[in-house]
A and B are shown apart, each in its own frame.
Chain A
């Protein structure tokens, strides 16, 4: 596709459930980023991949969060044992630059609600 695609658009999970969020970056983009955005706030960095290598995961809030990009294209963000504080929009972005080069192209996000 022409842009970054994320699925699902909306996800409701009961507290304690595991969830998996998918990101299809722009074809050929080397860098992929995950951000978390609370309502009315700016995006907060979670993790960064260059191809299949996870080069920076300093923003992951706990060990319940795990991201992978096994073939250097599609990425999945997994959250285990979801908590209410995990409720947010999860944004994926990609860029052509091999060193996290800018600009970033964002998807429309997955809105996660934990009840």
Chain B
């Protein structure tokens, strides 16, 4: 059983469209992180959310942590080709010794 379920697994859209990807679990987390990974590179941290109901904005990206701290969403407004990549959510393993990642949503934005 996967701790974090990310959906959709793959998303292909045109530049200018809006999209939302999801990260869901049945467990409660103290915090949740979103990373973006471009081909041939390592994941890069986008945001950390820690409070239930928290909304954070990073330019055209809006991140929300669920009220019960079990799920999160990432909304992108007016997608650009530079947004192409693998979007990963991750949560701390109990004891904070490491992060557990979801399988990711692969986003392809075409011109």
Question: Are the C-beta atoms of B99 and A45 separated by less than 8 Å?
Answer: yes
Q: How large is the interface on A (under 10, 10 to 19, 20 to 34, 35 or more residues)?
A: 20 to 34
Contact yes or no, A41 B42, CB < 8 A: no
Range for the number of chain B residues in contact with chain A: 20 to 34
Q: Which residues of A contact B86 (CB under 8 A)?
A: 40, 42
Q: Within residues 54 to 93 of chain B, which ones have a CB less than 8 A from any CB in chain A?
A: 86, 88, 90, 92-93
| CB neighbours of A105 from chain B (8 A) | 45
Residues of B within 8 A of A99 (CB): 96-97
Residues of A within 8 A of B44 (CB): 106
- B100, CB-defined interface residue at 8 Å: yes
The answer to whether A103 and B48 touch (CB under 8 A), given A108-B41, A108-B42, is yes
Interface residues of A (CB under 8 A from B): 4, 33, 35, 40-45, 48, 55-56, 91, 93, 99-109
Residue of B40, B41, B48 touching A102 (CB-CB under 8 A): B48
- Which of A35, A41, A93, A101 contacts B103 (CB under 8 A)? A41
B101 within 8 A of A: yes
- Contact partner of A104 (CB less than 8 A), chosen from B31, B45, B104, B106, is B45
> Which of A42, A56, A104, A106 contacts B102, CB < 8 Å?
A42
Please indicate the chain A residues that have their CB under 8 angstroms from the CB of B103 in the complex: 41-42
